[in-house]
Amino acid sequence: MEKKKKRLTKTYIKENWVLYLLLIPVIIFFVVYHFMPMFNMKMAFQDFKIFGGSKWIGFKNFNLLFTSPIFTTVLKNTVVISLLKLILIFPIPIILSIFINELKTSPFKKFIQTSIYLPHFLSWVIIAGIWVSFLSPTGAVNEIISMLGYKPIDFMTNKAYIKGVLVVSEAWRSVGWDSIIYLAAIIRISHVLYEAAGIDGASRWQQVKYITLPALYPTIITVLILNLGFFMNAGFDQVYNFMNDSVISSIDILDTYVYRIGLKSGAYSVSAAASFFKGVIGLFLIICSHLFSKKVSGKGLW
């Protein structure tokens, strides 16, 4: 039996060697770009020296990390920023998609969609440039604030406002684009349902409440779970480009900290330990999300 199976495998590979040939470059790529870095994570448990002679030191790097007051701040910032984004931004694309769906196809609708999807495709470097100008003392926001009779605020260098700036600029970038997935789900809802509800005298709001929202429920859960899985990220590219010396203590997150102490200050092992810590929590969150998603919607993340 075993032998027969082996022979079958052999003939399969002989007949389909092209398939394996096609995979080879990708496997090399995966090994170099993904698995070698993963293997290097061992340096979290070492006193790493770049030119050899690294010693194993157990959990010393982690001890160093967990007793550092900066790390505590960074961890707190990561959780707070992620939580703020999740709570304040998550519902907006759902509302947007329902509103857009209420509009009849028209140049106006096209204009709305064309405008709100655009920011998603800009790099954070460009977004930072645009927002610094938008929020500058002479920018659009302060122009409105002055019109209302208040004093201009320097948002970008103010610790009290910078987290809000992160949340609003993230919303600016992503809510339009993120509404597409809900819009696609709404379009799939049968028109018959709405027509029947209309005949029964259901108001627009009732139609949304009893037809649209229940139909969106699986999509909402999937997106929510996906977001939870990436909770520890908090948006590196955004923070990296919005950061300045006046607000660093208020928006320094795990990823910016890992970058700064690792590549800027050369504390390779401690940085790797912080990444390891983040990776383990991320892994835990993603697996929980996956299992939860499978239970709720029958569909996992993979």
- Interacting residues of 98 by C-beta distance below 8 A, sequence separation 6+: 182, 186, 208, 212
Q: Does 59 bind other proteins (CB under 8 A)?
A: no
Q: Which structure tokens are listed for 210?
A: 């009893």
Q: Which structure tokens are listed for 143?
A: 């122009």
Binding pattern to other proteins, positions 110-139, x when CB under 8 A? -xxxxxxxxx-xxxxxx-xxxxxxx-x-xx
Q: How far is the CB of 45 from other proteins (least distance, A)?
A: 12
Q: Does 96 bind other proteins (CB under 8 A)?
A: yes
Q: How far is the CB of 184 from other proteins (least distance, A)?
A: 4
Q: Does 302 bind other proteins (CB under 8 A)?
A: yes
Which one of residues 59, 66, 108, 210 is an interface residue with other proteins (CB under 8 A)? 108
Return the residues of window 175-194 that contact other proteins according to CB under 8 A.
Answer: 176, 180-181, 183-184, 187
Q: Does 283 bind other proteins (CB under 8 A)?
A: yes
Stretch that binds other proteins, among 59-67, 153-161, 189-197, 258-266 (CB under 8 A): 258-266
Which one of residues 64, 86, 224, 226 is an interface residue with other proteins (CB under 8 A)? 226
Q: Does 225 bind other proteins (CB under 8 A)?
A: no
What separation, in Å, do the N-terminal and C-terminal C-alpha atoms of the chain show? 33
Find the angle CA(257)-CA(261)-CA(264) to the nearest 5 degrees. Answer: 115
Return the residues of window 7-36 that contact other proteins according to CB under 8 A.
Answer: 9, 12-13, 16, 18-19, 22-23, 25-27, 29-30, 32-36
Return the residues of window 36-55 that contact other proteins according to CB under 8 A.
Answer: 36-41, 43, 48, 50
Contact between 85 and 235 (Cβ < 8 Å): yes
Q: How far is the CB of 272 from other proteins (least distance, A)?
A: 5
- Give 111 or 210: the residue with its C-beta nearer to other proteins: 111
Which one of residues 46, 77, 241, 293 is an interface residue with other proteins (CB under 8 A)? 241
Q: Does 196 bind other proteins (CB under 8 A)?
A: no
Q: Does 217 bind other proteins (CB under 8 A)?
A: no
CA distance 270 to 275: 9
Stretch that binds other proteins, among 73-81, 107-115, 157-165, 209-217 (CB under 8 A): 107-115
